[in-house]
Amino acid sequence: MSTVPRFWRHIPQRYNLVGTHCSKCDEYYYPPRTICPNCRRNAKMEDHKFKGLGTVVTYTTIYNATDDFKRQTPYNLAIIELLEGPRLTGQVICSPSEIEIGMKVKPVFRILGKEGDRGIIYYGTKFVPVEGSI
């Protein structure tokens, strides 16, 4: 159960892509940072909720997954560059033949994982292609 508090701390960033922004140097951070490496003690950090719109920088398709993800194979994991600049790793929900570098994506709310049949359910953000989505 040691992962429960860790997940709980991450709820804002997982559910709503809340990161940080330094208004002094205009740099955006995801996951959130408490210190701006550019401005250090002169930083002016504030929470920033990312729109979640982004572009696939690169990706891989998982065919052999761990037990928790076996049911979902094959699935795509991508590095996504958000409009505001930061890059993050996320699942892109589409066929492996459909995903490509440069694809525009948007966020959706999904189950990220489960702690077996008895533990908590982790919810958060995944991505879908903008084209063809409602």
Partner 1 sequence: MPAGIVSYGVYIPKYRIRAEEIARVWGEREDMAQNLNVFEKSVPDFDEDAVTIAVEATRNAVKRASIDSARIGAIYTGSESHPYAVKPTGTIVGEAIGVDHELTAADFEFACKAGTAAVQACLGLVTANLIDLGLAIGTDTSQGAPGDALEYTAAAGAAAYLIGRENLAAEIEGFYSFTTDTPDFWRREGMPYPEHGGRFTGEPGYFKHVTSATRGLLKKMKTIPEDYDYAVFHQPNGKFPVRVAGQLGFSRDQIEPGLVVPWIGNTYSGSSLIGLAATLDVARPGERIFLASFGSGAGSDAFSIRVCDGIEDIRDRAPKVRDYFENVQYLDYAVYAKHKGKLRL
Interface with partner 1 by CB under 8 A: which residues?
11-12, 15-16, 49, 67, 70-72, 93, 108-112, 120-121, 123, 126, 132-134
Which helix (H) or strand (E) segment is 122 a member of?
strand 121-129
- When the beta carbons of 39 and 113 are compared against partner 1, the nearer one is 113
User: Residue 5 to residues 45, 65, 90, 120: CA-CA distances in angstroms?
Assistant: 24, 26, 22, 11
- When the beta carbons of 56 and 93 are compared against partner 1, the nearer one is 93
Q: How far is the CB of 15 from partner 1 (least distance, A)?
A: 5
CA distance 17 to 43: 21
- When the beta carbons of 18 and 79 are compared against partner 1, the nearer one is 18
Q: How far is the CB of 113 from partner 1 (least distance, A)?
A: 9
- When the beta carbons of 24 and 49 are compared against partner 1, the nearer one is 49
Q: How far is the CB of 119 from partner 1 (least distance, A)?
A: 11
- When the beta carbons of 40 and 71 are compared against partner 1, the nearer one is 71
E-strand stretches of 18-103: 18-22, 27-29, 45-49, 54-62, 75-82, 87-92
How many CB atoms lie under 10 A from the CB of residue 119? 12
Q: How far is the CB of 35 from partner 1 (least distance, A)?
A: 25
Closest CA to 73 of 105, 89, 95, 101: 95
Q: How far is the CB of 95 from partner 1 (least distance, A)?
A: 9
